[in-house]
Chains A and B, each alone.
Chain A
Amino acid sequence: MRRHRLAIGLGVCLLVGTVLCTLWVYVEDWLPVSYVPYYLPCPEILSRYPQPKLLEQRPTELLTLTPWLAPIVSEGTFNAELLQHIYQPLNLTIGLTVFAVGKYTHFVQHFLESAERFFMHGYRVCYYVFTDDPTAIPQVPLGPGRRLGIIPIQRHSRWEEISTRRMEIISQHIAKRAHQEVDYLFCVDVDMVFRNPWGPETLGDLVAAIHPGYYAVPRQQFPYERRHVSTAFVADGEGDFYYGGAVFGGRVANVYEFTRGCHMAILADKANGIMAAWQEESHLNRRFISHKPSKVLSPEYLWDDRKRQPPSLKLIRFSTLDKDTSWLRS
């Protein structure tokens, strides 16, 4: 008799649980979705920009569209004022993650000052600085609507280890905090500076940047991971562009999936006792082949100042600082 009542009780609980779960699955679809209107430019701007010229003869220009119809952003492809009028009313918050571990904390001041001048001017911005020494992070005055979060992380002995841990740390940070605070997230290297405006032309579902060292090179010469045993392996006939690990981003949910995927691949390699040729950059490149970015940034957005600026790149916006890597990594 008692056993019967127990069984009935158990059955009722399971039934209630299942009903609640199924109800939730359906109710989710009905929940009012606050729709963000796609485009709302102010009427005043409409006459202040020139008509786009459909028939163009431009011999020395960059490719502006990937084969999967993702725009390749460079100076001259977009009207900054028009984009500003389109994106400003959407009240977006953009996050920017940097890692400043060990001696790399020296770069933070210059990085943040340049970001204050050029990165997403006029938008709400959250800087996330991951560091092993929060006291070494300087106080940089920030504009209105812009704030700084310092997140302590563990320091590792090898710099390669620090580098590969970034994917894991970013994905965990998004799950824990960033998904509630920002709409879009960019993950960049700290030993760089912004030299010119970096604005809403860079926003997209999943954004990658072309590495400045390999944009003119055939794919067989890309420094992909070429060992079959690695999860970052890329075969000879594969690959679109060689993307730089120093800049990537997109909608925060997509960046979460991306960094998580890379982290899983890195873990699998670790279990097999292998580290990819260019650490997480190799894994990033592998992932961008099978999960194509919806927007690609030209090397203007990731430049190496040691290289001579070619005429096809009109405006360098984000580039390296000359540095002594051996001292930094010691």
Chain B
Amino acid sequence: MAELLRTQARKPKCYLLRPVTFLLIMLVLVFFGAGFLSPRSPVLWSRRAGAGEAGRESVGLQVVKLSRMVYPQPKVLTPSRKDVLVLTPWLAPIIWEATFNTDILNEQFRLQNATIGITVFAIKKYVVFLKLFLETAEQHFMVGHRVNYYVFTDRPADVPHVPLGEGRQMVVLEVPASARWQDVSMSRMEMISSFCEQRFLREVDFLVCADVDMKFRDHVGVEILSQLFGTLHPGYYRASREAFPYERRPQSQAHIPRDQGDFYYMGAFFGGSVSEVYRLTKACHQAIVADRANGIEAVWHDESHLNRYLLDHKPTKVLSPEYMWDEKLLGWPAIMRKLRYVAVPKNHREIRNR
């Protein structure tokens, strides 16, 4: 009797098990689907998932909520600078002192926890420049933000130990050295592009490619960051385009005719989002290889190819010569209110090819 009761008691549960399991599966799938289809889902916005709409790419391009800040009112009828151009014809800002408010920009980038990578090449004797470069960068470069220094060198033992602030780290990357200084300069494009793929895409949001024989003398911050930026060469910011030292031989990939060109950009300081820097360095490297195959070397090596690239792919920000100066050669004209990143005096004959 008890057995019969037990068997009967089991039957209803036996019937319930399958529909209940089925219902639970449907419930889980429904919740999963709801999550997928909600209007906030980033998948929906990828109608054309262009630069800035997926993953790391979107840092710096998002609209973030700022806290209450106190600063003077911008005046529509009063330009911030009357002596210089602050906007290119393709609406990219040209960064000069007094055009920007550091507090607003710092908050915009801090809220997104932006990480900035800076690549520097210390090949052969150029390792001697590292100490001053790193020490001054600690004082002036992206202070308050996360920074990764990528030091490319063939002499990792000679890399000095410089104390770094919080959220800042150094990565030493050992690379082979070319014999000629021109090749050392041009191989930077290849190395940066290959490391972009290998590491930079995953580790940083923005990449700055800088020369090592320089030092930071004043604030260089997030105002420079955008998709793609170049820096005006301090020797040619007054010149007309016919006088720019572009590569003028049509056989070279870097060729620019005399009636073309916006600015002459310096090869010593450029950057942007990792994917844009990857595209730039890859294109420049391929152009250098093509030139080599045709037995020609551009007049200013990687700088010539950089200028060709930035003519075809307009940068989204342009840095004034405040960000690339040589006081010994050019003095300190009134138009430069700050000298931020300056050349360190060096003996060219001594230091090159050693």
Interface residues of A (CB under 8 A from B): 1-3, 5-6, 9-10, 13-14, 16-17, 20-21, 24, 28-29, 31, 33-36, 38-41, 43, 46-47, 49, 51-59, 61-69, 71-73, 77-79, 82-83, 86, 175, 179-180, 183, 201, 205-206, 210, 215-216, 218-219, 235, 237-241, 252-254, 256-258, 289-292, 294-295, 298-299, 312
Contact = CB atoms under 8 A, between A and B. Distances in A.
Contacts of B100: 65, 67-69
Interface of B: 10, 13-14, 17, 20-21, 24-25, 27-29, 31-32, 35-36, 39, 42-55, 61, 63-68, 70-71, 73-80, 82-95, 99-101, 104-105, 108, 223, 227-228, 232, 237-238, 240-241, 257, 259-263, 275-276, 311-314, 316-317, 335
Given A2-B17, A46-B311, A54 B76 contact: no
B332 to A, nearest CB: 16
Grouping DSSP codes into helix (H, G, I), strand (E, B) and loop, the B interface class, with mixed when no group exceeds half, is loop
B73 A219 contact: yes
Contacts of B50: 34-36
17 contacts: A2-B14, A2-B17, A35-B49, A51-B241, A51-B261, A52-B263, A54-B84, A54-B232, A62-B79, A63-B79, A65-B87, A69-B99, A77-B87, A86-B314, A179-B45, A205-B61, A206-B63
A68 B24 contact: no
A315 to B, nearest CB: 16
A215 B32 contact: no
Given A55-B83, A56-B83, A254-B63, A38 B51 contact: yes
Nearest to A203: B91
A131 B337 CA distance: 55
Contacts of A258: 63
A312 B77 contact: yes
Between A20, A21, A54, the greatest number of chain B beta carbons within 10 A of the residue's beta carbon is seen for A54
B37 to A, nearest CB: 11
Contacts of B52: 205
A136 to B, nearest CB: 31
A216 B76 contact: yes
A179 B47 contact: yes
B76 A241 contact: yes
Given A55-B83, A57-B82, A215-B77, A67 B13 contact: no
Between B89, B257, B311, the greatest number of chain A beta carbons within 10 A of the residue's beta carbon is seen for B89
B24 A13 contact: yes
Given A55-B237, A216-B76, A290-B67, 11 more contacts: A13-B28, A17-B32, A20-B32, A35-B50, A36-B50, A54-B232, A57-B83, A63-B79, A78-B90, A83-B91, A201-B91
User: Lowest 5 A-B CB distances belong to which pairs?
Assistant: A17-B28, A36-B50, A67-B101, A79-B89, A175-B39
Contacts of A67: 71, 74, 80, 99-101, 104
B260 A61 contact: no
B51 A68 contact: no
B260 A47 contact: yes
Contacts of A29: 54-55
A197 to B, nearest CB: 15
A2 B10 CA distance: 8
B104 A68 contact: yes
B259 to A, nearest CB: 4
A73 B91 contact: yes
B89 A68 contact: no
Between A35, A40, A206, the greatest number of chain B beta carbons within 10 A of the residue's beta carbon is seen for A35
A1 B10 CA distance: 9
A210 B74 CA distance: 12
